[in-house]
Structure 1
Amino acid sequence: MTQEFVPEVRAPGNPLIHFKGVLKEYKPIAGAAGGRQWTNIEFNFTDVDVLESLEPYLFPIATLTVKYTKPGDKGKPGQGNKWEVLAASLRKLLGNDADIRKLVGKAQEWHLLPGILRLPLTDEDGTPKM
């Protein structure tokens, strides 16, 4: 008897939604395919305490990967990429002259929350933005 194929639709990657841990290191991971190049930033955590996850997570370590986009590469800063959303959050924590190296070796809490990847198309009063 054959089983019906059901394609998965969940997001690929780490199932962690909310956790505490110590940032062991972060490192750039470069790649290339089809004539284009990219860089991801890989965050490696130890002493992980899971507060929320999409599935059981029993490991004491975690790796999160975020595609890096140099600020200003894709339109205005803060528009259209996950790195800008993360960077905006880190600036709130570290200040505008943020040095991400200050996070290495420190206990911290990370929580995946909805972020705004694009600016709204209208002002608060409904006027279209150009």
Structure 2
Amino acid sequence: MRGGPHPRERGQVALELIGFVPILLLLGLATIQLGVAAYAVSQAGTAARAAARTESYEESDTDGASAGRAAMSDWMADRADITVGGGAGEATATARVEIPSIVPGVGNFGTAERSAVMPRDEESTP
């Protein structure tokens, strides 16, 4: 008797591989989607800090929302909603970024929201 595989077991490995490939692809897409979501959260934080920092300057030529969008990557800035405000002693900014889907036709993954507060410049008199 030969030491090779039994005739009925030929191709078993190929069938197992074909069955496992969709699971690997799904796991890979989920990992990439998680990375995109983390990137959206990071971009929201960057935008909120930049917007609050700009709003805190007394002599700023730019509004905070524009500065927040400029601090983000272009494809995330298109999905961002930045609001600025605050009182006399502080400037606040909130950035909301829609988390994009990497799979076309798959629904919304929600929004990433981050806020930042910066103290306003105090006017110094010489």
Instruction: Identify the TM-score tier after normalising by the shorter chain.
Output: under 0.3
Taking structure 1 as the reference length, the TM-score comes to 0.25
Greater strand share, 1 or 2?
1
**Greater Cα radius of gyration, structure 1 or 2:** 2
